[in-house]
Structures are given as C-alpha cells and as structure tokens.
Chain A
Amino acid sequence: MGFMRIVFIAWRNLLRNRRRTLITAFSVAFGVLLSVTFTASGDYTYTNMINSSATMGFGHVTIAAKGYNDTPTLTRRLVAAEELRRQVLSNHEVENAYVRIAGQAMFAAGVKSIGGQVIGVHPLQERPEHNLFIRSIIQGILPADSESTGALIGAKMAEKLNLRLGKKLIYTLTDRKGDLVSGMSRVSGIFQTGEDMVDSSVVLLPINRLRRLLGYDAGDASLISVLIWDQRGADLVRQKLIGSLQQTGYEILTWAETQADLAGLIAIDRAGNYLMQFLVGLLIAAGILNTLLMSVMERTREFGMMMALGMSPVQVVIMVMVESLMIGLLGLFLGAVITTPWYIYMAGTGIDFSSQIGQDYSTSGVLVDPVMKFRLFKESVIGILAGVFILTLLAGIFPAIKAGRVPPLASIRGI
C-alpha cells in the first residue's frame, strides 16, 4: 500500500471523531500560542537589552587593547585605532564603529568629588541611535567637536556635584604611563538614562582633548565600539574581524564577553523560558498521546482485521504515526490562525507594564523596556515548528507501536 493511501486512510480516521480531533488540535494550537508568547517576548526583550547595552559604550563587538576587558585601565592603549576603524567599517555586517577612550576617573566640582567613568568620543561621528547618552540628553548638547572643552554628564552626577550647564568639572585620571593627570571641562549637556548607576557615574568628553591629556598618540584609543545590524551576528562578525584585521595587539570580544552579567542573566532567563515551553510541550504531548491511545484502543479489531487481510504491522504503525503528525499539522495551522492577530498586536502595540515596574526599570545595568512587545526571529519560528513536529511524533510512537502489535487473530476472534 502506497504512502499516500496510508495518509488518506489516516485522514479519514481523524475525521471519524471530528470533535476529539479538533479539541486535540486546539490544545496543540494553544501550545503554539504559548510558545510564540514566550519566545517572541524573549526575542524582543533580549534584543532590546543587548542593543541598549551595546549603545552604552562597548557595542555588540568590541576591539580593545589586549587585557583591557579584564583590567580596563587607561595604560592599555589600542594603537592606530582610527585605521582599525576604517578596516572594520568595510565589513558589510557592521552598521557603524566608534573609536573611544574609556576608563576610571574622579570627578570634582567645588569641594565635592565622585568616582566614575570617562568616555572619550568623537562628537561629530557619534549618532544618537548608537549612543544611549546622546539620545538621553535632557539639557544642553554634546560637546561641539573633539577639541571642545565641553562635557556631557549624567543627571545624578550633576545633582551630586551641584553642576549646571556651563559649570566647571574637574577630572583626574591616570595617563598612559600611570601618572595622575587632571583636566577641566565645562558642562555642555546633561543626560538622564533612567539608570541611576549610569546617570551618577558617566561623563562623555571630546576624544582629542582626552588623548592629549593622557599622552596618547593621534590615532590611539581604548577600544572600538562596533555596532552591527543584527545582534545575533556578533560571533560571526567577531570571527570575520579576526580573519580580516591586519594589525596585532588587540583582542576582539562580543557583547557576551564585555557584558558578562547581562549575558548570564539572559542565559538564565532563556533557560527558564525553554523549561516552561518544554513543560507546556509535555502537557500537549500527553493530550495527543491520550487521544491517539483512545483511538487505537477503540480500533483494535479494525487493526487486527487489516493485518489479517495482509496489511503489515509497519504499515499500521505508519498509519497511526501519520494520524499523530496530522493532528500536529492541524494544530500548527490553528495555532497560526489564533496566534497571528495576537502577534500582530503585540509586535505593534504591546502591553505597557510601566505602571507596575516604572519607566526606569533596569537589570544588570541595562534599562528594560516597560512595554512588553513581540519579535520572532526566523530560527525561533523554525524551533517552534520543529518542536511541535517532534512532540507530535514522539506522542504518536507508543500508540502506533501498540496498534502495530495487535495480534490479528485475538482481535478478530468473535467477529
């Protein structure tokens, strides 16, 4: 008997108890809805957090002086960083790259002082979409150019040091040789990200002024912050850069290495997410198993008769497996029907949780969007499809084997 014939009989078998088939298929569809909800909210939130973190200075991929990631001191320099940046930008997966100096510093105004982080930037190169501090400016502006005397400081720092626009900010840091040096800037702008730790510690200064203060050469920096079009490609871009960049004396790291806390948090959250989905999958598989088992028990005589007529046990097993897969496919179709409007709404509008968690909720130093939205990556869709396929296949194995083991004589005796 050909496979299509078996498929045909399997389909008719499912139709003989339409209500039961539909209920089971809807349980699969509900599982698809839950799976999409878990996965799509994860895909959206994780991407949001990673992108947000990337715009706080280090990018999705960071090219830094060797050892800088472990010990981020200003004595570690990335030599000829500007030339490296030009090479990085030739990679089509790279959206943009920024040369930066980043290190610890003491900031003082009047008699007050506070520890924090200084980031040297090219004001004319920086774009708000790649720089959280610039797009969070609430007063003033970014220093006009890389030679400017301006400084962009966080709102909390301004509050603690009693600073306003135009006021003097003194900063003290170690130069390339490890000697203490100090500089002075005037506050040109104030930003507020909502993350207190960031708003009370970060100061953006023009990179060339900082270079001179630190004794760096013209093209030197601490790191190159590489922003890519799709955060999922960080490893790939890293590998490509390792293969393409000519110079030595640097290391290339992904966001997962420079933002290890965030990577750990996402990994734990994702694992919990997968566990939940697995449990939901188990429940659905149990439902399919129950339906198919009932259906097989009801048809014992029928299977016996079919085998008496010459149908092989393997063909009977295949028939029941096909029934299981058809329930899965029907469930996927119904799942797509009920999930699509939900997905469209959540991808566009989402649910605003700001009244519960506030506007400034952050974790691992990264702001979390209080509006829960959906985004589903292609690999997630494939994962959900494959998951449903495998679950229905697994759920069908036991009933199918049971059907294939029906002894023809015992089942038709008394017919």
Chain B
Amino acid sequence: MENLIQLRNVTKIYQQGKVQVHAVQDLTLGLALGEFSALCGPSGSGKTTVLNLIGALDEPSQGTILLEGNDLALLNRTQLSRLRRDRIGFVFQAYNLVPVLTAYENAEFVLALQGVPAKERYDRTMTILDEVGLAGLANRRPDELSGGQQQRVAIARAICPEPAVVLADEPTANVDTTTADGLLGLMEKLNDEKRITFLFSTHDQRVMDRAHRLIRLTDGQLTGDEVRR
C-alpha cells in the first residue's frame, strides 16, 4: 500500500539554552491512507514533535517528510499554510476553539478559509455536526459546551474539509472516561465510514487499545511498531 505520509531518517533537535535536546532521532516511518494509528510513549518521548513535524508546524533538523508525495521542505510558508488548511486536520488536547464563534462557526472555520460557497459550507458542516451528535447545539459558543462537546466540535472542524489525515494530540486527555470512549467511537466510525486517516499521540491506554496500529517512541526513537488489524 502506498504511504500517505513518509518520514525518512527524521531528526529534530531543539536548542534549550546551551543544551541540545534530541526530540526525535533518525525516525523512519510510513503511514498508509485510512490508518487509525497511535503514537505512544511516555512524556518527552517525542510524540507531539512527530505530530508537529507531520502537520508542517515544525521543520526537521535532518531527514525528509513526504505528505502525499510532496516533500514538505520544498514548500514555502504560503504553500505550507495551504497544505495545513486543505490536507491536514488538527485536534488539540485543549480543544482550541475560537471562543467568539459558535459551534457551527468553529466547525466551518476551515471551510470558510478554503472559500467553500456558503450553501455547500452549511450543508457539509451541518452533516458533520449531526454525525458528531451536535446538530442541536450548533448555535452554542464554546463556553456553553462541555469539554466532550467542545472536543466533538474540534473533531468536526478537523474533518469538515475532508483532509488526508487528522492529527490528534492527546484528544482524550481532558475529558472523562465516558466522554473519551464516545470520542474514540466517533473517530473510529469516521475512519471506518469516510476512510479518514487518524494519527493520535497518546499515553491513554484506552486509545492504545482501540488503535489499529501502535507506534512506540522512547526518547525520540522508534522502539516498536505493532499493526493489530
């Protein structure tokens, strides 16, 4: 199967004062279309750094990252911005919704950035909000929603533009067990029905248990890659 994402000998070094921190070391990894994978490992193992590198939010110190065959290092700022907008969905640990926008407006945010016509935007957003179980709460602002509901809006925002991959950084870290199960079920369903590729960073055992592939990182190095389904 052709890789959607390919990391080749990727190293990321941060300079913290006089100390060099090797966040990721010589990582080679491929992710195929439609995968439901989890990056796991203890805190400081480099999970978030890998997501940031794949999400074109950060640049590797060494190595190559390809997304749909495009070398990210060859793209300028504007092209990277468009790539993030059109091909990558982000779900952040702290939901990160725009506080002044309603659930509907947050969910359609990226579609608006893409310039999708209003009617199509409305139809697509309402369909997704319905799928994530928030159609009745579309007009509520983030501060009127629970943590789980906010994370659902964030997921809706990530998948509305139909990206190639959704990168989710600890998506269940701030929600209770029941909500976390619901969110995972939702993402599994979207992966199953829409063939959207998901890559999580997590050290939540429930996420690891439901992931189809488990990529283990320790001190920035690949220490395990287990395909379960």
- The A104-126 residues at the B interface (CB cut-off 8 A) are none
* Cβ contact within 8 Å between B100 and A13: yes
* Cβ contact within 8 Å between B85 and A408: no
Q: How far is the CB of A86 from chain B (nearest CB, A)?
A: 68
* Cβ contact within 8 Å between B113 and A15: no
Q: Does A141 contact B (CB under 8 A)?
A: no
Q: How far is the CB of B195 from chain A (nearest CB, A)?
A: 22
Q: Which residues of A contact B112 (CB under 8 A)?
A: 1-2, 5
A13, A309, A409: the one contacting B109 at CB < 8 Å is A309
Q: Which residues of B contact A313 (CB under 8 A)?
A: 77
Q: Which residues of A contact B109 (CB under 8 A)?
A: 306, 309
Assuming A9-B101, A310-B85, is B115 touching A415 (CB within 8 A)?
no
Assuming A302-B98, A412-B96, is B82 touching A308 (CB within 8 A)?
no
* Cβ contact within 8 Å between A409 and B99: no
Q: Does A239 contact B (CB under 8 A)?
A: no
Q: Does A197 contact B (CB under 8 A)?
A: no
Assuming A305-B92, A309-B84, is B113 touching A9 (CB within 8 A)?
no
The total of chain B residues at the interface (CB under 8 A) is 28
* Cβ contact within 8 Å between B98 and A9: yes
Assuming A1-B112, A2-B112, A309-B113, is B100 touching A15 (CB within 8 A)?
yes
Q: Which residues of A contact B82 (CB under 8 A)?
A: 310
* Cβ contact within 8 Å between A305 and B96: yes
Q: Does A260 contact B (CB under 8 A)?
A: no
Q: How far is the CB of A377 from chain B (nearest CB, A)?
A: 41
- The A10-54 residues at the B interface (CB cut-off 8 A) are 12-13, 15-16
- The A289-330 residues at the B interface (CB cut-off 8 A) are 301-302, 305-313, 315
- The B61-104 residues at the A interface (CB cut-off 8 A) are 77-78, 81-82, 84-86, 90, 92-94, 96, 98-101
Q: Does B60 contact A (CB under 8 A)?
A: no
Q: Does B227 contact A (CB under 8 A)?
A: no
Interface string of B11-23 (1 = CB under 8 A from A): 0000000000000
Cα A13 to Cα B99 in complex, Å, equals: 9
Cα A13 to Cα B169 in complex, Å, equals: 27
* Cβ contact within 8 Å between B81 and A306: no
The total of chain A residues at the interface (CB under 8 A) is 24
* Cβ contact within 8 Å between B113 and A310: yes
Cα A199 to Cα B2 in complex, Å, equals: 104
Q: How far is the CB of A311 from chain B (nearest CB, A)?
A: 6
Cα A408 to Cα B80 in complex, Å, equals: 12
Q: Does B145 contact A (CB under 8 A)?
A: no
Assuming A408-B57, A415-B93, is B84 touching A310 (CB within 8 A)?
yes
B57, B86, B92, B101: the one contacting A409 at CB < 8 Å is B57
B90, B93, B99: the one contacting A309 at CB < 8 Å is B90
Q: Which residues of A contact B98 (CB under 8 A)?
A: 9, 302, 305-306
Q: Does B131 contact A (CB under 8 A)?
A: no
Q: Which residues of A contact B157 (CB under 8 A)?
A: 309
Q: Does B110 contact A (CB under 8 A)?
A: yes
Cα A409 to Cα B112 in complex, Å, equals: 22
Q: Nearest chain-A residue to B59 (Cβ)?
A: A409
Assuming A16-B100, A415-B92, is B110 touching A309 (CB within 8 A)?
yes
Q: How far is the CB of B37 from chain A (nearest CB, A)?
A: 21
Q: Which residues of A contact B226 (CB under 8 A)?
A: none
Q: Which residues of B contact A302 (CB under 8 A)?
A: 98-99
Q: How far is the CB of B159 from chain A (nearest CB, A)?
A: 13
Q: Does B58 contact A (CB under 8 A)?
A: yes
* Cβ contact within 8 Å between B94 and A415: yes
Cα A308 to Cα B56 in complex, Å, equals: 9
Cα A54 to Cα B167 in complex, Å, equals: 79
B84, B92, B113: the one contacting A1 at CB < 8 Å is B113
Interface string of B42-67 (1 = CB under 8 A from A): 00000000001001011000000000
Q: How far is the CB of B116 from chain A (nearest CB, A)?
A: 10
* Cβ contact within 8 Å between A308 and B55: yes
Interface string of B108-151 (1 = CB under 8 A from A): 01101111000000000000000000000000000000000000
Q: Which residues of B contact A305 (CB under 8 A)?
A: 92, 96, 98
Q: How far is the CB of A326 from chain B (nearest CB, A)?
A: 13
* Cβ contact within 8 Å between A308 and B84: yes
Q: Which residues of A contact B114 (CB under 8 A)?
A: 310
* Cβ contact within 8 Å between A16 and B110: no
Cα A15 to Cα B92 in complex, Å, equals: 26
Cα A5 to Cα B100 in complex, Å, equals: 13
Assuming A305-B96, A310-B84, A310-B110, is B78 touching A409 (CB within 8 A)?
no
* Cβ contact within 8 Å between B100 and A308: no
- The A256-313 residues at the B interface (CB cut-off 8 A) are 301-302, 305-313
- The B153-205 residues at the A interface (CB cut-off 8 A) are 157, 169
Q: How far is the CB of A41 from chain B (nearest CB, A)?
A: 42
* Cβ contact within 8 Å between A310 and B96: no
Q: Nearest chain-B residue to A305 (Cβ)?
A: B96
Cα A409 to Cα B14 in complex, Å, equals: 13
* Cβ contact within 8 Å between B85 and A412: no
5 A-B residue pairs with Cβ-Cβ distance under 8 Å, sorted by A, are A306-B98, A309-B84, A309-B109, A409-B52, A415-B169
- A9-B98, A15-B100 given; 16 more Cβ-contact pairs under 8 Å: A9-B101, A13-B100, A305-B92, A305-B96, A308-B90, A309-B85, A309-B110, A310-B86, A310-B110, A311-B113, A315-B113, A409-B57, A412-B57, A412-B96, A415-B93, A415-B169
A residues adjacent to B (C-beta < 8 A):
1-2, 5, 9, 12-13, 15-16, 301-302, 305-313, 315, 408-409, 412, 415
B residues adjacent to A (C-beta < 8 A):
52, 55, 57-58, 77-78, 81-82, 84-86, 90, 92-94, 96, 98-101, 109-110, 112-115, 157, 169
CB-based closest 4 A-B pairs: A310-B85, A12-B100, A409-B57, A1-B113
